Chains A and B, each alone.
Chain A
Amino acid sequence: MQLTSVDLHVQNNRFKTVNFSAYLFCLMFFFSPLAFSATDLFEFDNAQQEQTFHDLTKQLRCPKCQNQNIADSNAKLAEDLRNKTYQLVKEGKNEEQVIAYMVTRYGNFIRYDPPMTPATIFLWLGPLLFILVGFYFIYALVTRQKKQEAQLDPEEEQRLQEILSNKKSTDKKSQKGNKE
């Protein structure tokens, strides 16, 4: 089939459109949040330090924006805390020392991994308590069932005897059945 000039024009136009949207598509990546995210450039003496820094910023909670850790938060305070963490790690402080430093200033609130204290002990003992209560419940249920199967009240015992003796006099066959 031969293309007329009009066809050619359309074809050309479509090509342009495709090209333009491809540009847009590429541009999208430049303006994605990733390209904009705050990347503080920290340099470390060794990989160990870098790892410690990343572990710390992940487990320290930002006091200003309370549901983010200081690695994720863009708050000014989080930035300060990141810088301080960096400075302390660079000075050769280990993970516990940095956490202790932060806790003396901001309290245990700053930790996503709370320590065991009288106020938080329930977090550990709570589930255990629930399990124990559950076991007690099952235990109570089972023993009560056993009791019901095995024993009769004195009244019930008497009634049973009466029924048995009645039956004895009327039906000898059923007495055999009862004995079993």
Chain B
Amino acid sequence: MVKSKKILTLSVPLVIFLIACYFLFQGLYTDPRKLESTLIGQTVPEFTLQDLYDPDKQHDASIFKGQKLLLNVWATWCPTCYAEHQFLTKLAGQGLYIIGMDYKDNRIKAIKWLTDLKDPYAISLFDKDGMLGLDLGVYGAPETFFIDSKGIIQYRHVGDLNDRNWQDKLSAIFDNME
């Protein structure tokens, strides 16, 4: 009885040590730069933005309703977007509906980029001063929002989409959306 109590007391530091180890190890494998979006489960905020190709054409939040889609935030100043572009074209070729948002960018450069590299986007929004980006909590490019047919944001992916993360995780998220 006394002995078991002693063992219990002596094991307290060990337990604390193990708990600390757990948290520290977890810290090694999580990327602190990846923030969770606060918009999960909510609709895309209201906005009016010009079309990238045609300044006279305006889009609003209603374009996100009707079918599940990806909203891809990109820019010509972002090297990772360049790496990602080919994969997006591939996804678009598979019939995925992708809306692009050109974030804080130069219109002429952006149009040239899409002309040269093919345009995977069904609709291209032009967010010149990044205000829709701010409403969406965008803090870099590329970012991709997974939006269901009701216009509700289900997931946000920070960083590029590629074959690996699409196969591993993201395609399942997309397929599970309504």
Q: A residues engaging B (CB < 8 A)?
A: 63-64, 66, 76-77, 80-81, 84, 103-107, 109
Known contacts A66-B32, A66-B33, A80-B134: A107-B140 contact under CB 8 Å: no
A66 surroundings in chain B (CB, below 8 A): 32-33
Q: B residues engaging A (CB < 8 A)?
A: 32-33, 35-38, 104, 129-130, 133-137, 139-140
Known: A80-B130, A84-B134, A107-B36. 13 other contacts (CB 8 A): A63-B139, A64-B139, A66-B33, A76-B104, A80-B129, A80-B133, A81-B134, A105-B134, A105-B137, A106-B38, A106-B139, A107-B35, A107-B137
Chain B interface helix/strand/loop/mixed? loop
Q: How far is the CA of A77 from the CA of B137 in the complex (A)?
A: 10
7 pairs, CB–CB < 8 Å, chain A vs chain B: A63-B35, A64-B140, A66-B33, A81-B134, A104-B38, A105-B38, A105-B136
Does A103 lie within 8 Å of B38, measured CB to CB?
A: yes
Sorted nearest first, the 5 A-B pairs with minimum C-beta distance are: A63-B139, A105-B137, A107-B38, A106-B137, A64-B139
Does A109 lie within 8 Å of B35, measured CB to CB?
A: yes
**Chain B: minimal CB distance from A67 (Å):** 10
B136 surroundings in chain A (CB, below 8 A): 105
A109 surroundings in chain B (CB, below 8 A): 35
B139 surroundings in chain A (CB, below 8 A): 63-64, 77, 106
Residue of A nearest to B35 (CB): A109
Residue of B nearest to A133 (CB): B12
A105 surroundings in chain B (CB, below 8 A): 38, 134-137
**Chain A: minimal CB distance from B13 (Å):** 12
**Chain B: minimal CB distance from A30 (Å):** 30
Residue of A nearest to B12 (CB): A133
Known contacts A66-B32, A66-B33, A105-B135: A77-B140 contact under CB 8 Å: yes
B38 surroundings in chain A (CB, below 8 A): 103-107
- Which of B32, B129, B130, B136 is most buried by chain A, counting CB atoms within 10 A of its CB? B130
Q: How far is the CA of A66 from the CA of B139 in the complex (A)?
A: 11
B129 surroundings in chain A (CB, below 8 A): 80
Q: How far is the CA of A82 from the CA of B22 in the complex (A)?
A: 38
Q: How far is the CA of A166 from the CA of B105 in the complex (A)?
A: 102
- Which of B36, B37, B135, B137 is most buried by chain A, counting CB atoms within 10 A of its CB? B137
Q: How far is the CA of A109 from the CA of B140 in the complex (A)?
A: 15
Residue of A nearest to B33 (CB): A66
Q: How far is the CA of A75 from the CA of B140 in the complex (A)?
A: 10
Residue of B nearest to A106 (CB): B137
**Chain B: minimal CB distance from A84 (Å):** 6
**Chain B: minimal CB distance from A14 (Å):** 52
